[in-house]
Structure 1
Amino acid sequence: MTPQIDPQAGAAVKAADRAHVFHSWSAQELIDPLAVAGAEGSYFWDYDGKRYLDLTSGLVYTNIGYQHPKVVAAIQDQAARLTTFAPAFAIEARSEAARLIAERTPGDLDKIFFTNGGADAVEHAVRMARLHTGRPKVLAAYRSYHGGTQQAINITGDPRRWASDGAAAGVVHFWAPFLYRSRFYARTQEEECARALEHLETTIAFEGPGTVAAIVLETIPGTAGIMAPPPGYLAGVREICDKHGIVFVLDEVMAGFGRTGEWFAADLYDVTPDLMTFAKGVNSGYVPLGGVAISGAIAETFGKRPYPGGLTYSGHPLACAAAVATINTMAEEGIVENARHLGETVVEPGLRALAERHPSVGEVRGVGMFWAVELVRNRETREPLVPYNAAGEANAPMAAFGAAAKKAGVWPFVNMNRTHFVPPLNVSESEVKEGLAALDTALSVADEYTD
């Protein structure tokens, strides 16, 4: 698709946006959203014809890129046959989407409750856990994000929680492992794992094991920094949950559906939770969809006892048709395997080469097509390039980095003192190298702020 240059149309789109659209997570008068004219594959472009390689996959959800023809055709076909129908009925697209998801989830997570996105999936997973156990509390990690609805934002561990945290949601936060910025004074991954598990066990002991319904973890935290847990950690959490009768919930909203080079990140660790939330990559965000994959034991709780929850658009036919087409396309085109292969052979060595050249890079970490580059002022002290949750002038170094990346032709994922490398999973090798070259240029700007 060739970008059409039409600045006048772009100005009209921008004017209507600024007059009427209320944007999320933003001070409305301080933002300047780009007017997007179109997108295809790993790229999008503005009305001036400037094209960007999207290193963000939207919000890490366009796992098969923009405008994949097979998924577009499936949505069109479903719209022609049955655009919408209430969730209490058996609908072909809904049934098939659930079947395809259940085929790929670990263990016996074979029942699928559909939601409209990731946040309400987390809401319902927590509700199921509380009803299943009869307990009130939920434990969740700092450095996490679980969604913007009231319960999900309280479970979240990053600063987006602060403004909406009423401290009455029954949520207790704890430290998960992250060796680069260890809260446990660990020197090795083994020490970090053991001390993080001991910390979690102690937290449960002081909260009262009989009061804890669920532990909610992102299998690999996404927005908070892509910190893959050390070997043995998730298995240790599973053991702790089994010991105390706690429901183990893994949030795979961002990490799921091939992002890590496996269908689910849990597959990397050979662990099966009791509940697993998903969204984003299940249909690459073409139509809003999320859900909860439910174990046999928890499904049985609601076998003859009604589950007190639902959504008008649960399992919407258009969204489910998009999911069916997305999952089948990923399988047919080897998209999960592509993410794994390019992650190992191109992305990781490319990012590590950038780290060697740029003093602003403190650490590179990730797997598949799910990578973070931690930017620092000083490699020895590991002082972040900008302070935690920096804004305004304090965030100038990261703003300068982001501007340089865009000038170089990529749209970067920038959060706090990190940039994430998270393009679509069917990105080509040449596109990956294009993205790495642009980051090389932008990191030279970040280097100017190092000690």
Structure 2
Amino acid sequence: MSIDLKNELKCEQNQKVSEYINKVLNLIEKEEINSEEAAWITKETVDGFREHVNPGFLEYRKTVTEGGQFAAVEWSDNGSCFKDVNGKEYIDCLGGFGIYNVGHRNPKVVKAVTDQLKRQALHSQDLLDPLRAMLAKILADITPGDLKYAFFTNSGTESVEASLKLAKMYSERTTFISTTRAFHGKSLGSLSGTAKGMFRKPFLPLIPGFRHVPFGDIDMMRKTFEVCASVGEDVAAVLLEPIQGEGGIILPPENYLKQVRELCDQYGSLLIFDEVQTGMGRTGKMFAAELYEVVPDIICLAKAFGGGVMPAGAVVASEKVFKSWFDNPFMHTTTFGGNPLACAAAIATIGVLIEDKLPERAAEVGAYFLEELKKAAKGHEDKIQEIRGQGLMIGIEFHQDEIGYEVSKGMFDRGILVAGTLINSKTIRIEPALTISYKEVNKVVSTFKTVLEQLDA
């Protein structure tokens, strides 16, 4: 093929790509789309996932939806709900695995981000960027105890990675204790703390030095500390979710977290709380650490930290821990962590949580939600093992995976989005926006009851 012909074909290809891009951008620009456009979007989405993203997502969707609903394509959102391209509305009880604490597209968060975007989107990486400093000050004020310095990330797994590096530099110890059913992310460091073998096995060996003990078993935790000390592998830190999210919404036994804190103090180890899912008001307090009156040395945040508008995360630590990074602030960096748009979103999010008293609301509405779900489950003990939760972090555990899948399918068919957990597929989670109305809660509960009754039929 001649060079001229190659160039001609390349020009034709670029022209087609340009036309396709313009069509997509025009659709994004529209406030409303028609049925023909919705059909085109659906076809392009399904084909794109099959050919260019990952066909496994399509197979997963087929297992958790009825009929052709696997091809449901989300298009817009607001408040506690989102709509697909055909205009069907769903009450979002999955909440992006805990992202939408202040609701979908909260106006104050969106305004803060768009206002910042009008002035500057990303920072130069060299000069001092103001919003990072201001957000760090706010976090120092609202986090428990003497947590003072913040490092900003883009996601939960990045927050956990940063916490592990902080702990290693603090003491130069290399042993970490995590727990069974834990989920801390899927990058190599955080995956080393994550418990599920299916995610771990393909990537072994992971970061050395991690020990896993049963969550809630303080005796095993104590024995592990003792053994590590006796063989010269002193523990750098214990990495815990105060309430396990992906593990199936598992609450800690009474005084467990306080006893872990005492063990860490006894052995000179750090306590890291992974509050990626429990933080930002979900459990009825701004941070779950406050529920259990325990102050960690490091706290990891993400998911709802960006207000459901921007990907954002943070690690907040005490000065005694963080100062190992003072001499060289470039010891751990990330290009986009703490960017102006993410910081604007996080600042506005914290403002909404405080002004609208959403943590308190999560406690109140969550208690009502939990009680009503338990009432709806009466008479279905053959299917449901337990309903448990704290605030608006609720898990419904079934006796078998298949029952959970059928309930999820039935609720999705009726406009309620729920989902299982990555660690325990028998449990479906309820993690709606903290702004969810009582009317919406009642609709979720009545739908849950209807689906259970139809499974009996």
3-state SS in 2 of match to 1:45: strand
Partner of 1:173: 212
Give 1:367's aligned residue. Answer: 390
Corresponding residue for residue 46 of structure 1? 84
Q: Which residue of 2 aligns with 1:202?
A: 223
CA deviation after TM superposition for structure 1 residue 160, in Å: 4.8
d(CA) in 1 for partners of 2:105 and 2:328? 42
Question: Which amino acid in the other structure matches residue 417 of structure 2?
Answer: W
Is 1:324 the counterpart of 2:347 in the alignment?
A: yes
Q: 2:441 matched to which residue of 1?
A: 432
Deviations 1:338-373 (A, max 9, x none): 1111112x2121122123232222111111111111
What is the aligned partner in structure 2 of residue 389 from structure 1? none
User: Does the alignment pair 1:9 with 2:18?
Assistant: no
Distance 1:271 1:307, change over 3 A: farther
SS at match of 1:352: helix
Classify 1:118/1:23 alpha carbon distance in 2 versus 1 (closer, same or farther; 3 Å): farther
Secondary structure at the aligned position of 1:110 is classed as strand
C-alpha change, 1:25 and 1:419, in structure 2 (3 Å) is: farther
- Counterpart contact for 2:109–2:307, Cα < 8 Å: no
Report if the CA contact (8 A) 1:102-1:109 is conserved. yes
- Bigger CA drift: 322-331 or 154-163? 154-163
Alignment pair present for 1:352 and 2:394: no
The code of the aligned residue for 2:45 comes to D
Find the partner of 1:403 among 401, 406, 409: 409
1:29-428, aligned counterparts within 5 Å? 31=61, 32-170=70-208, 171-177=210-216, 196-208=217-229, 210-211=232-233, 212-306=235-329, 308-344=331-367, 346-359=368-381, 360-376=383-399, 385-386=400-401, 396-415=402-421, 416-428=425-437
Preserved CA contact (<8 Å) 2:189 2:206: no
What amino acid does structure 1 have at the position aligned with 2:452?
Answer: L
2-side partners of 1:29 and 1:349: how far apart? 35
**Contact 1:219/1:250, CA 8 A, preserved across alignment:** yes
SS in 2 for 1:365: strand
Structure 1 Cα separation of the partners of residues 228 and 37 of structure 2: 58
Structure 1 gap ranges (5+): 178-195, 377-384, 387-395
The size of the alignment, in residue pairs, is 411
Deviation at 1:135, TM superposition (A): 1.3
Residue 398 of structure 1: how far off its partner (Å):
2.8
Deviations 1:176-213 (A, max 9, x none): 12xxxxxxxxxxxxxxxxxx111111123233464221
Letter paired with 2:374: R
Deviation at 1:303, TM superposition (A): 2.9
What is the CA-CA distance between 1:280 and the residue it aligns to? 1.1
Q: Structure 2: how far apart are the matches of 1:36 and 1:286?
A: 16
**Could you tell me how far apart the structure 2 residues matched to 1:291 and 1:114 are?**
4
Task: Write the deviation string for residues 52-77 of structure 1: whole angstroms up to 9, x where unpaired.
Answer: 10011122111111111111111110
Task: State the shift of 1:26 in Å.
Answer: 4.0
Residue 273 of structure 2 contacts residue 296 of structure 2 at CA under 8 Å; is this kept in 1? yes
CA contact (8 A) 2:166 2:322 kept: no
Give the TM-score normalised by structure 2: 0.85
Q: Alpha-carbon deviations, 1:73-102, whole Å to 9, x = none?
A: 111100011111044433232222222222
Q: 1:272 Cα deviation (Å)?
A: 0.7
Residues 87 and 316, structure 1, Cα contact 8 Å, conserved in 2: no
CA spacing shift, 1:6–1:76, aligned 2, 3 Å: same
In structure 2, what is the equivalent of residue 391 of structure 1?
A: none
User: Closer, same or farther in 2 for the Cα pair 1:168/1:423, shift >3 Å?
Assistant: closer
Q: Note if contact 1:10-1:37 (Cα within 8 Å) is conserved in structure 2.
A: no
1:430 CA drift (Å): 1.0
1-side partners of 2:329 and 2:353: how far apart? Answer: 35
Partner Cα separation in structure 2 for residue 401 and residue 140 of structure 1: 32
Report which stretch shifted further, 202-211 or 23-32. Answer: 23-32
1:262-282 CA distances to partner (integer Å, 9 max, x unpaired)?
000000011011111001111
TM-score computed with the length of structure 1 as normaliser: 0.86
Q: Say whether the 8 Å CA contact 1:154–1:165 is kept in structure 2.
A: no
Q: When you count helix as a share of all residues, which structure comes out higher? A: 2
- Say whether the 8 Å CA contact 2:175–2:236 is kept in structure 1: yes
Query: Following TM superposition, by how much is the alpha carbon of 1:165 offset from its aligned partner in structure 2, in angstroms?
Result: 3.9
Q: Max radius of gyration: which structure?
A: 2
The CA distance in 1 between the partners of 2:140 and 2:101, in whole Å, is 19
**Paired residue type of 1:440:** K
**How far off its partner does 1:375 sit?**
1.0
Cα 1:306–1:51 shift into 2, 3 Å = closer
Q: Which runs of 5+ in 2 are unaligned?
A: 1-30, 62-69
Distance 1:87 1:433, change over 3 A: farther
Distance (Å, rounded) in 2 between the aligned partners of 1:221 and 1:400: 24
* Aligned partner of residue 107 in structure 1, secondary structure: coil
Judging changes above 3 Å, is the alpha-carbon distance between structure 1 residues 445 and 149 closer, same or farther for their aligned structure 2 residues?
farther
User: Cα–Cα, structure 1 residues 148 and 9, in superposed 2: closer, same or farther, change >3 Å?
Assistant: farther
CA offsets per residue over residues 309-342 of structure 1, 9 Å max, x none? 1101120100110111111112112222211111
CA-atom RMSD, angstroms?
2.2
Write out per-residue CA displacement over residues 146-183 of structure 1, whole angstroms, 9 at most, x where no aligned residue: 11211112211124523444134122211012xxxxxx
Larger deviation: 134-143 or 89-98? 89-98
